[in-house]
């Protein structure tokens, strides 16, 4: 179990860590292309979503493209 | 600057405002703001900037007014349908405040004309709703060292941030446009009309704050609101060393016209 903060809200995940791409799916983001992610204040490159691991205590912001787009 | 009796009354609420006053009003009167897109965001922004007495308001938009615009683009009226948006907007601004010099550009902002058009302005408002032009505005402003307000709306949500040279830019946050096929057509997504007013008004406030030097701009922060819950959140963002236009190793050194979904070219 680990606790992380996504968009200012606490989330509990069953495992001690999770791949960022799995977390994206867990948060019902249908199009990962349409979200920009900040992990502990640093932006994660879109091609690193699969290789980035999220651990207990991490803070994330999912920032969606807005302006005619879809999340 | 000498004010007429009418102008003293017109701007009296600014004169009364301690942070603005006569000096601030003069800065507003000498200010030049370019609004890109006379649509959902540009309409309220233009009206508030005109009412405030911004000396020069530039408006660039290649579209004509359509019935589907009237639900949110409050500067255009029913009788304006089929009229170029820049003309419709200029007419309303002149009626609201004849002090304002309105410059119209009935064309699209492109990599060819962008730098030439923006060079005459102090501050830009991104009132477009398509990503290619959003990235174009960002890159042009970064390369030319111009401050601007980014704005985006979708359904019940809005987001905005302000750029000044040195602060995090739109690309620092969003890097590159989403693939065109990931973006649904605008008619599919929809937006609550009042959301455009909420966001465009925030952008106008940022322009007036920039011109007067009052307060703290929305720099290095992305303001996001969800009008369904009516919650506002500001996310701190910082300059991204991997940013393609102002990062450590820039790959965008000149302006680019990106492709976009066809519907988004027409309707703002
Ligand atoms: Zn940047």
Tens digit of pLDDT per residue, chain A (71 long)? 899 999 999 999 998 899 999 999 888 887 888 899 999 999 998 889 999 999 999 999 999 988 743 22
d(CA A65, CA B233): 16
Q: How far is B68 from chain A (nearest CA, A)?
A: 15
Q: What is the mean pLDDT of chain B?
A: 93
Distance between alpha carbon B100 and the CA centroid of its chain, in Å?
A: 17
Q: Does B222 touch chain A (CB under 8 A)?
A: yes
Q: Per-residue pLDDT for B240 more than 90?
A: yes
Whether the pLDDT of residue B183 is over 70: the answer is: no
Whether B115 and B52 have beta carbons less than 8 Å apart is answered as no
CA B88 to ligand 1 centroid distance, Å: 35
Query: Given this model, what pLDDT does residue B2 score?
Result: 87
| pLDDT bracket for residue B181 (50, 70, 90) | confident
User: Cα separation of A32 and A65, whole Å?
Assistant: 11
Q: Which residues of B touch A63 (CB under 8 A)?
A: 159, 173-174, 222, 224, 235, 237
For residue B67, report the phi and psi dihedrals to the nearest 5 degrees.
Answer: -55, -35
pLDDT score for A32: 82
> What pLDDT sits at residue A69?
33
Preferred mutation among B127, B134, B135, B235 to probe A, highest tally of A CBs within 10 A = B235
Q: Say how far apart CA B202 and CA B161 lie, in whole Å.
A: 10
Cα(A40)–Cα(A19) distance, integer angstroms = 15
User: In this predicted structure, what is the pLDDT of residue B261?
Assistant: 56
ipTM of predicted assembly, 2 dp: 0.88
- The CATH number of A2-64, from 3.10.20.30, 3.30.565.10, 3.40.30.10, 1.20.1250.20, is 3.10.20.30
pLDDT(B171) > 70: yes
What's residue A70's pLDDT? 29
B128 chain-A contacts, CB cut-off 8 A: 67
- Mark out the alpha helices in chain B (DSSP H runs): 5-10, 12-16, 21-29, 42-52, 85-96, 114-118, 131-144, 170-174, 186-189, 193-212, 262-266
Contact (CB<8Å) B182/A34? yes
Distance B247 CA to ligand 1 centre (A): 6
Rounded to 5 degrees, what are φ and ψ at A20? -55, -40
Q: Residue B130: which pLDDT band, with cuts at 50, 70 and 90?
A: confident
Cα gap B203→B245, rounded to integer Å:
23
- Where along chain A do its domains lie? 2-64
Q: What is the pLDDT of residues B195-233, one digit of tens each?
A: 999 999 999 999 999 999 999 999 999 999 999 999 999
Tell me the per-residue pLDDT of B90-129, one tens digit each, with 9 for 90 and over: 999 999 999 999 999 999 999 999 999 999 999 999 999 7
- pLDDT at residue B187, rounded to an integer: 52
> pLDDT category, B184, cuts 50, 70, 90?
low
* Alpha-helix runs per DSSP H in B145-192: 170-174, 186-189
């Amino acid at each position: 179990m680990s606790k992380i903060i996504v968009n200012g809200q606490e989330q509990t995940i069953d495992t001690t860590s999770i791949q960022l791409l799995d977390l994206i799916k867990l948060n019902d983001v249908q199009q990962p292309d349409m979200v920009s992610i900040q992990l502990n204040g640093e932006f994660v490159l879109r091609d690193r979503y699969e290789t980035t691991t999220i651990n207990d205590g991490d803070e994330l912001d999912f920032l969606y493209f807005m302006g005619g787009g879809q999340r | 600057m000498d004010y007429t009796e009418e102008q003293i009354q017109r701007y009296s609420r600014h004169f009364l405002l301690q942070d603005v006053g006569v000096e601030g009003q003069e800065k507003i009167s000498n200010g030049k703001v370019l609004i890109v897109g006379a649509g959902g965001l540009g309409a309220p922004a233009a009206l508030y900037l005109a009412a405030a007495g911004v000396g020069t308001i530039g408006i660039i938009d290649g579209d004509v007014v359509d019935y589907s615009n009237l639900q949110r683009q409050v500067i255009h009226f029913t009788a304006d349908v089929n009229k170029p948006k820049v003309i419709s907007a200029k007419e309303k601004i002149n009626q609201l405040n004849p002090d304002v010099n309105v410059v119209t550009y009935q064309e699209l902002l492109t990599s060819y004309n962008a730098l030439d058009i923006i060079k005459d302005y102090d501050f830009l408002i991104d009132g477009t709703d398509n990503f290619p032009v959003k990235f174009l505005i960002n890159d042009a402003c970064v390369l030319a060292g111009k401050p601007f307000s980014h704005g985006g709306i979708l359904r019940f949500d809005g987001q905005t941030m302000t750029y000044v040279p040195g602060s995090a830019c739109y690309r620092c946050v969003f890097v590159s446009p989403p693939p065109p096929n990931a973006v649904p057509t605008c008619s599919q997504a929809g937006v609550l009309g009042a959301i455009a007013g909420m966001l465009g008004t925030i952008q106008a406030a940022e322009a007036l704050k920039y011109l007067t030097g009052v307060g703290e701009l929305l720099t290095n922060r992305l303001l996001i609101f969800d009008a369904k819950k009516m919650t506002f959140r500001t996310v701190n963002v910082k300059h991204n060393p991997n940013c393609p236009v102002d990062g450590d190793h820039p790959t965008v050194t000149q302006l680019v016209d990106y492709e976009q979904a066809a519907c988004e070219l027409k309707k703002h």
